[in-house]
Each structure stands twice: as C-alpha cells, then as structure tokens.
Amino acid sequence: MPELPEMEIVARRLDAVLPGETIESALAPGINALKTFDPPLQALAGRSFTGVRRRGKLLALELDGNLVVLLHLMSAGRLQLHPKRASLRDRTARLLLRIPGDRELRMREFGSKQAAWVKVLRAGELEAEPSLAGLGPEAWPDPPPLRELLDAPRPLHSLLRDQQVITGIGRTWVDEILNVARLSPFKRGDDLSDEEGEALRDAMVSELGRVLDVYEEQVALPLPEKFPKPTRVHAHQGEPCPQCGTVLEAVFYEDYVMTYCPRDQTEGRVLKDRRLSRLLK
Ligand SMILES: [Zn+2]
C-alpha cells in the first residue's frame, strides 16, 4: 500500500531527524528480509545517518562510510521511528536500527506475504542496483509528457502502475488520478491524444500533490502504522463521483478493487466484475 506520497512523507520526516544520529546496533530478526550479506548488517553499527531519500516507492537511508540501506516496504511493510525498543518477540519486525536514547527505526511487515526487503549496499553499488536501475521517471513532482511515455498497447491502469514505465503509483492513487483525468482505466496508452496525455499528467501531479499536502498536515513522527487515506474514488464504489456525482462503480480483482466513474471515464459503460466472469467461465 505505501506509494509515492506515503514514502515521500516518510522520507521527509526521517530526513528531518535522522542525519547526525549514530546507529548503535542493527538487527534483522525473524523472517529474513535482508537480501544482501556483504557488507554485513553489523557494518551499520557506529555509522551515522547523512540523509534519507525516496526513489519511486523505495527509500534509501544514507550513512557515512559510503553505506546505504535501501528498503522497499512492498504492500504491507511499515517503517516507524519508535521512542522505545521493540520486543524481539515481535514477529512482524524485519529490521531494527537502534539509535541513542533507546530509540529505534523499525521496519515491520504485516499480512501473510513476506515481500518487504532490505539491502545494505555501498554507495558505489547504487547505480547498478537492479531495483533502482530499471525504474521509470518519477510520477511527481515533474513527470515527462505522458503521451510519449505511455505509448504502448496496454491499459492505462496497468501502465501507470508499472514502475519501469513511471515510478511511484500503485493501486490506490491510480484510481484517483484516472478519475480526475476522466480517463478509462482500460484505455490503451497508445490510444491517448496529446490533450488526454496532458490532462493525465496534470491529474497525476495535482492528485499526488494533494495527498502529500494532507500528509504534511497530518503525518508526524513516530510515523503512523496506518496512514490517513484522503481517497475520494478508490474503494468508494457506491458513493458519488467527486467530479460529477454519478455513483462510482468498481471492478473487483482477487486482491484489489478498481473504482471508476462510468459517466466521466467509461462513456456510461459499467465494466464486468472480474470475480463473476472468472467464476462463470
Ligand atoms: Zn463522475
């Protein structure tokens, strides 16, 4: 669930307090989310934070000695700066970076999938790091023109969530962006007019910016387990469209929902429920 706005506010909040703090110890308890072994996790002890940056949905904790902790929370990970240390029996804990004052930067993961990951890298290795090298341009604050970028025979709903095409957007904010741009989730990228491409780009910048503004007001350290959800469309099926008041419809997939306005986005058509069509096959 953490997408660009969530990771951006996490980066801002941590970057405001972590630089200068020294890691006392580093632990990766329980299920091993740590995907690298050289340099070892223990190399982090004694290092000080120099900055925290976001790239797409990834976060880089920069340390002196040219070390970087790169992490991806995937769908169910959380990162919080706790004023107290966790019990080592906390089964959701994946990475604990302990800093003075008994505080702890804690990555946890909820749910049944174990997908969140951490890498300890040398700064010089970042350029070749596959999880970064393949990323498309940032969806915010200044994405490139979209008609050219999305020129592929694939639906917008999937293109916009493809991190190699454009990075930062997931299942939640894609619904909001497409609604504001008044575009069908199933419109093909190579079918966008110049005008539609521009409307989509404007919607992307304004929606992600709107969400960030809300987080700037509402999200504080130690960082929430659950973020506020300033959604107006995603998972709001049955409620009025924020643009026109028509009742929002949804397509349900196995583990997520795609919500849209039939009047603004699909020329009045209500799309098939994928769950039903699968059952009926
Ligand atoms: Zn509408």
- Give residue-wise pLDDT tens across range 133-183: 999 999 999 999 999 999 999 999 999 999 999 999 999 999 999 999 999
What residues pack around ion ligand 1 (CB closer than 5 A)?
241, 243-244, 246, 261, 263-264
187 or 279, which is more confident: 187
Distance 262 CA to ligand 1 centre (A): 7
Distance 140 CA to ligand 1 centre (A): 24
Query: From its phi and psi, is residue 245 left (phi > 0), alpha (psi between -120 and 50) or beta?
Result: left
Most confident of 77-91, 177-191, 265-279: 177-191
Note the pLDDT of residue 275: 58
Distance 200 CA to ligand 1 centre (A): 15
Cβ atoms of residues 69 and 106 within 8 Å: no
Distance 252 CA to ligand 1 centre (A): 19
Note the pLDDT of residue 276: 55
Distance 212 CA to ligand 1 centre (A): 23
Distance 247 CA to ligand 1 centre (A): 8
CA–chain centroid gap for 50, Å, is 23
Sequence-ordered list of residues with C-beta below 8 angstroms from that of 39, at least 6 positions apart, any chain: 67, 120, 121, 122
Distance 66 CA to ligand 1 centre (A): 50
Average pLDDT over residues 52-80: 96
Distance 151 CA to ligand 1 centre (A): 26
Q: What does the alpha-carbon distance between residue 97 and residue 41 come to, in Å, rounded to a whole number?
A: 10
